[in-house]
Structure 1
């Protein structure tokens, strides 16, 4: 199958970004809320794997399985066409670079989607912690283990690793637009999300669920741990998606790349 030209990918991203910016506030909030709910199934499945398997973090087979189930939430969100903040660190920036949208429009979109994502993730986490242990497939200790994996690092690591996570998410948005088949898109989502998972990079929206797991179930995770994670992961994700994908790819395409 003939590859989509990079200029066509850019045009499609601009069109998609402008469409999202023009949506009503309630639609963006609800879509972001839905994405926050749906992405929680990835961290929940991670907790199930840690509960039911003999391995833990550091065991190769367990790490691969954890990374694979982590990607499930991203598949639900992206194939379901819900709004994810970390996609828009690239998608919504490109129309601004092309001078078809303003910084104010970008801020409105980012703010509404981000709030929806965070609230949706918090609701999912509360329901999962309240109801799932009673089914016997997940333990509170597994929830805490997942959270500790993210908050036990230095704050500088959270920001730098967040840049890499945002970079990968921006790349995902670009590659999914370039892909022309559903199977190809599923593979791209799995590949990118599993890479984020196996590297334990901080993703502001999926990580929101992961760290809230620990905040709700473990005394070792504090409110300050959660806030530090959220601020630094969000900033890193935004920098990674904006600089390493949106700006660089926009720059090379408008300068004549084929």
Structure 2
């Protein structure tokens, strides 16, 4: 191994260091007051809505649509904007905590009850924030002339047109990617690196149109509010299965596996 390679490895955080950072951060959030957790979740639910809104703008202004490669790449890029606002702004996002908050429970430093408290407050805050953002967007953006109701409907239909099994399996993959993102962001040394990771991982979710329960909450609500083709049943089925899939993906495929390999001496 060359000296430069050895120096690079020394500069990188070890797996144990990453795990300890996650433990400290997750325990801090678990011990926050209820109002603080809820307001942080509310802020994240509001901020993440800018991604789906920009997607609607792209679909309105672009000559292409879903399936057109340049449009798909642009949609994936703008989809990540809301996640950049949330993750770099340090607001609380439920799908990050499907991994982060599980780690202290696996380590015996927190109870399942404490996990449920954090999940519940953050999740409800995310959903309420998403509902408020969607109402504002649907009411105000038509006057700007850059978004058509048909774009809102197309975005929602892209998520609810699949069968229920796909919603769950797709949700698992989305949760897996979000859990991995939370781990990688903790490992990253600089803000530029974190930004690039957020764009790559969430852009992948957007490119694959995977059901993310919080961003998707806004996407499907767009369609529910502007189109009779999207029903309340569509919304509730999406939300339930995407949430369950996200929790399984982040909790099992990232939290349990990452924790398991670190505590068994991977370093």
* Length-normalised TM-score, structure 2: 0.96
Query: Match for 1:243 among 248, 252, 256?
Result: 252
What is the distance in 2 between the residues matched to 1:182 and 1:29? Answer: 26
1:135 aligns with 2:122: no
State the partner residue of 1:163.
172
- Structure 1 stretches of 5 or more lacking a match? none
What is the distance in 1 between the residues matched to 2:248 and 2:141? Answer: 35
1:93 aligns with 2:106: no
What is the distance in 1 between the residues matched to 2:129 and 2:86? Answer: 12
Deviation at 1:133, TM superposition (A): 1.0
Q: How many residues align?
A: 258
Query: Match for 1:187 among 178, 196, 201?
Result: 196
Deviation at 1:119, TM superposition (A): 0.3
State the partner residue of 2:76.
67
Deviation at 1:89, TM superposition (A): 0.2
Query: Match for 2:28 among 10, 14, 19?
Result: 19
Deviation at 1:12, TM superposition (A): 0.3
What is the distance in 2 between the residues matched to 1:121 and 1:217? Answer: 16
Deviation at 1:37, TM superposition (A): 0.2
1:125 aligns with 2:123: no
1:252 aligns with 2:265: no
* Length-normalised TM-score, structure 1: 1.00
State the partner residue of 2:159.
150
Q: CA RMSD in A?
A: 0.4
Deviation at 1:17, TM superposition (A): 0.4
- Structure 2 stretches of 5 or more lacking a match? 1-7
